[in-house]
Structure 1
Amino acid sequence: MNKRTMFLAAALSLSALTCHAQSSTEGFWTTPTIAGYGKMHALPKAAYQPQAEKQYKIVFALTQGAKTPSAVNPGLDHVARTVNLYVASGVPIDHLKFVAVAYGAATPLALNDTQYRAKFGVANPNLPLIAALKAHGIDVSVCGQAVAEHHFKYDWLDKQVTLALSGLTTVTTLESGGYVLMPL
């Protein structure tokens, strides 16, 4: 084979592999309950499946910021993934008692769109996800102490977000009520 023929054969092989890889992942990731957020892959025969008849109480401690202001907060996206995993496993949505509390670097996710745009120059990408979580009974809250530490005003918070006294008291109060802590 000459060099041109070898190059074309290699390019065609690579193209075929790429097409196969793309087609084999179609439908692999789904977002069955929180549409467009919290990608998950169903594994119905995997160990440690949630039990449909049980209630699950989780407080998510969101402490990390997004990589860029235009990206959804990864911890908040993991809350959506958790909802998707439980519901896809057969747990009714009303059996999920989930509270996400943002503090530290995650605090800005709670800003309304006007204030987020003023600070970061882009729309708040977290607000559609917060709305979707709220629509399914998931409370998204923010630490009031972190709001003050960031020099944000309380009326800058989006109306969908619950203002909590603090992340510390939210976590400990909910844990004393039977919630499990999931740090994200």
Structure 2
Amino acid sequence: MKNWIGVIALQFVISPAFAQSDAFSPGPVFEDYGAVADIDATFDVPKGMAFKVSFDVREAGEAGARNRRLETAARFINMHARAGVPEKKMKLALVIHGKAVNDVTKAAHYEEAVGGENANAPMLAALMEKGVRVIICGQSAAYYHVTNEDLLPGVEMAPSAMTAHAVLQQEGYTLNPF
């Protein structure tokens, strides 16, 4: 009997967590990536707001799965498009370093370095098609034996992540800590 009480109690704890996940959906810009929840926000995004935001990505994703840190760019765009910010008013950059460098490589390098298929490739192509810059740290690339030839099309090689962030900041980008 005690075991059944525990199971029933666990269902009440787990059920709200699963119910919350139903609130998230992708779109309107990226239909396959960047699921967000519709929020009855009391914090208004000012009319005419323009975003220039960079994201620092150093953690690698799970082998063969999309890196949630990379997907943050799709979530940001979908979330703000739902809030009425035009796509042309959002300029984003992903600065990749550390173990995440393999997540922006072509199939052959990814397979050898990580194993499996690089699930990030289609998402990164979709992001770059919408103008998101993907910049890799040259220092991390050298450390993990990633060359320009190993990079997915459109990925930029910077001398370092520090350099990329400094240049982006001078260009008016803010660093998002998430």
| Same fold? TM cut 0.5 | yes
Mapping of 1:1-184 within 5 angstroms? 28-32=23-27, 33-47=29-43, 49-66=44-61, 68-184=62-178
CA distance in 1, matches of 2:54, 2:16: 37
1:59·1:182 contact (CA, 8 Å) conserved in 2? Answer: yes
- Give the superposition deviation at 1:43: 0.9
118-127 vs 94-103, greater mean Cα deviation? 118-127
Aligned match of 1:6: none
How far apart are residue 80 of structure 1 and its match? 1.4
Report how far residue 183 of structure 1 moved. 3.3
Q: Is the 8 A contact 2:101 2:140 kept in 1?
A: yes
TM-score by length of 1: 0.81
Identity %: 25
Cα shift at 1:151:
1.7
Contact 1:116–1:122 under 8 Å retained in 2? yes
RMSD over aligned Cα, in angstroms? 2.8
Q: Distance in 1 between matches of 2:46 and 2:77?
A: 14
Cα 1:177–1:22 change in 2 (3 A) is closer
Deviation at 1:27, TM superposition (A): 5.2
1:115 to 1:26, Cα distance in 2 relative to 1, 3 A:
closer
Alpha-carbon contact 2:56-2:95 (below 8 Å) kept: yes
Unaligned runs of 5+ in 2: none
- If the length of structure 2 is used for normalisation, what is the TM-score? 0.84
| Matched letter for residue 37 of structure 2 | H
Tell me the alpha carbon deviations over residues 153-181 of structure 1, each in whole angstroms, 9 at most, x when there is no partner. 22111113122222101101111222111
Q: Distance in 2 between matches of 1:180 and 1:81?
A: 17
Aligned length: 177
